[in-house]
Amino acid sequence: MNILIINSGSSSLKYQFFKMPEQKPLCVGIIERIGKENCFIRHKVLKDGIEKLTERTFFVRDHAEGLQNVVQLLTDAETGIIDKISEIEVVGHRVVHGGEDFTTAVMVTEEVKEKIRSLFSLAPLHNPVNYKCIEIAEKTFPDAKQIAVFDTAFHQSMPEYAFRYAIPEKYYSEMRIRAYGFHGTSHKFVTAEAMAWMKKPDAKIISIHLGNGCSITAVDAGKSLDTSMGFGPLSGLIMGTRSGDIDPSVILHLLRQEKKTPDEMDILLNKQSGMAGLTGHSDMRDVRKLLEMGNYDAELAADMFAYRIKKYIGSYAAVLNGLDAIIFTAGVGENDALMRERVCRDMEFLGLKIDMELNKAKSEQIKEINATDSTVKILVVPTNEEFEIARQSYELLNEEPPCEQIELY
C-alpha cells in the first residue's frame, strides 16, 4: 500500500511517502518557515537503494501553495517517487483539533469535514490549514482514501478532574468546554519509543514537545494523564508566536481598556506573542543568534521559556507520583542543546542531572543525555508524527497493526 502523509504544523509542512505494511519511508520532506522570506524545502527520496536530496530556498505564501509544490516534486522525473498520481492509494492527514469525537484514526467523510470546520476558531493556526490540505488532496488524488488522525485523540484518556475547567457545569455539558490537549500523535510516538528503549512499559514519563507550538504531557504506562494545552492549542508553555499560560484577567483588561475585538485578541495571543512578542523572532534559531550577541530581550525570553517548562516538570512529577524519564522532542527539543541545558539546570532534587557532553552530541536517533548518577533519564527522542499517522491509517484499513517497526531514517 502506498501512503502519503501530510502534517501541517503552524510554521511548517512535513510529508512522508511510505510503503506499507513494510513501513518503509521512500520520501521524507519538510517545508520550513512557511510565509517567510527564508522559506526552505528539504526533499529526500530513496530510489533503487540510492538517497537523493533536493534542497532549495524559495517562497510559498501558505500551506496550500506548499502542498502544490510537494505534489510537483513527488511526480517530477528527477525528484519524484511516483510516475502517476493514481499510485498514491491513501493520504493520511494530521488534523489538530478533533474535539471529543475522535479517539482513533477515521476515514474522512463529509461529517468528519464538518466537524473539523466547526473547530476552526479553536485551533485557528491549524484546523483551517488541515482542512485546506484535505480539500487539495481530495482533488489531487481523487482515487485515494483520505484518513484523518487527530492531535487530540491521545489525550482522551485524561481523567475528568484534569480536563474540566472550574466554570459553571453547563459550559461543559452544553458546549463541551474542557481541555482537549494537542500534539497527541507526537507525545504518543515518542513515549512509545522511550518505553521500548527503556524496556519499561509501565514507565512514568514527561514528554516535552518544543516546536513552533510547544506542549508538555504526563504519560503513565502509555496513557496521557494531563497536558499543558487545553481547549485550544494556546495554553501552557511559551511558544513561537503563542503566549501559553496567561492570567485571564489580562485578556479581560485588554478587551475593556483597549476595546479590542475577539478577533484582535486572537491575533495578539496566537500570532504576536510568545518568543515573537518578546524578541521579535518566532524561530528559535533567530533567537539563538540574538542570544549569542548578548541581547537582553532574548536572554529574558529564553529564561522565561525554560522556567515555564521547569514549572510543568515539577507539577507533572507530582501528577505521576514518580518519574522515570523526561523526553525532549520536536524542532527546538531535538536541536537546541543550550535550551535543554537551561531547562534541566538546578533540578537535582528531582533526580534530574544532565551530562553536558552527551547533551551536545548530535544524533538522529534516540539518545540519553543524563549523567550516570541521574535517577531520572533525560532522553532526546526524534518525533515522527508522519510515521505514527501511517501506522494508525494502516491499522484502520486493515484492522491490524503493520509488522514490527523497521529502522527509520
Ligand X SMILES: CC(=O)OP(=O)(O)O
Ligand Y SMILES: Nc1ncnc2c1ncn2[C@@H]1O[C@H](COP(=O)(O)OP(=O)(O)O)[C@@H](O)[C@H]1O
Query: Is 333 part of any known ligand binding site?
Result: yes
Residue 36 touches ligand Y, criterion: CB under 6 A: no
Kindly tell me which residue out of 151, 283, 368, 386 binds ligand Y, with binding defined by CB under 6 A: 283
CA distance 13 to 193: 23
If contact means CB under 5 to 8 A according to the sort of partner, which of ligand Y, ligand X, Mg ion, none does residue 182 touch? ligand X
CA distance 73 to 44: 10
Site string for Mg ion, 183-222 (x = CB under 5 A): ----------------------------x-----------
Site string for ligand Y, 302-341 (x = CB under 6 A): ----------------------------xxx--xx-----
21 upstream amide cis, omega within 30 of 0: yes
Strand partners, 370: 354
> Is the CB of residue 326 less than 8 Å from the CB of residue 378?
yes
Kindly state the greatest CA–CA separation across the chain: 64
Taking the complex as a whole, the smallest distance from the CB of residue 123 to ligand X amounts, in Å, to 7
CA distance 367 to 154: 24
If contact means CB under 5 to 8 A according to the sort of partner, which of ligand X, ligand Y, Mg ion, none does residue 284 touch? ligand Y
Query: Is 184 part of any known ligand binding site?
Result: no
- Smallest CA-to-CA distance from 68 within 93, 40, 31, 36 is with 31
Query: Is 359 part of any known ligand binding site?
Result: no
What is the chain's alpha carbon radius of gyration, rounded to the nearest angstrom?
A: 21
Cell numbers linked to 215:
506542549
Return residues touching ligand X (CB under 6 A): 9-10, 96, 126, 151, 182-183, 211-213, 233
Task: Clarify whether 76 is annotated catalytic.
Answer: no
Cell numbers linked to 225:
494523564
Residue 403 corresponds to which amino acid?
A: C
- Smallest CA-to-CA distance from 73 within 61, 59, 55 is with 55
Tell me how many residues contact Mg ion (CB under 5 A). Answer: 2
Kindly tell me which residue out of 3, 5, 6, 12 binds ligand Y, with binding defined by CB under 6 A: 12
Task: Give the residue with the Cβ less far from ligand X, 40 or 197.
Answer: 40
- Contacts with ligand Y by CB under 6 A lie at 9-12, 211-213, 240, 283-285, 288, 330-332, 335-336
- Contacts with Mg ion by CB under 5 A lie at 9, 211
User: What is the set of active-site residues?
Assistant: 151
